[in-house]
Amino acid sequence: MIIDFGGGLKSDEDLEIAFNSGAKMITGGSIAVKERDTFLKWLQRYGSEKIILGADAKDGNIAVGGWLETTELPVVDFISDFHEKGITKVISTDISRDGMLTGPSFELYAEIMEKFPEIEIIASGGIATMNDILKLAEIGVPGVIMGKAIYENRISLGEIELYILTAPSSLPLND
């Protein structure tokens, strides 16, 4: 199992605790906006294999602070800035769709993949059916986060297992 720890990371000590507790990666979102230099220091120290950029969006702009605050910073510009600094993994949640089972923000993820095809994007928010996962795979998104769809039996673990076992080898799957 690969553990990614995210939420509330504010200091070097927080990262050390996360890594010493078994996390293989951490995700930083609000810290990347509010304390950019700290996040960049972590990226330089631990590398892009261990540091994931959290790029949560509302109406196309970055949201921070547990999604309570929306910035004026477009999500694509935010990703671009950190991509130039070495980020290779991004978790992006369209918070207006999170938990709504209305389908993910295909347009947002297609735009991100078109501009940054080498980034491993993990899409989150709105996943309702296996068709959503298949459509995201078609546009090149290598990972998804889903919760409510499994909880409400809209996607079964068996369907996910079958997909993983039969997915074309060209699709990157996490080990």
Contact 154, 126 (CB under 8 A): no
Within a domain: 173: no
Q: How many domains does the chain have?
A: 1
Q: Model confidence over 116-150: pLDDT tens digits?
A: 999 999 999 999 999 999 999 999 999 999 999 99
Within a domain: 172: no
Check residue 169 and give its pLDDT: 53
Within a domain: 153: yes
CATH code of residue 123: 3.20.20.70
Domain containing 20: what range? 4-166
Within a domain: 89: yes
Report d(CA 88, CA 52) in Å as an integer. Answer: 8
Question: What's the rounded mean pLDDT across residues 8-13?
Answer: 95
Within a domain: 175: no
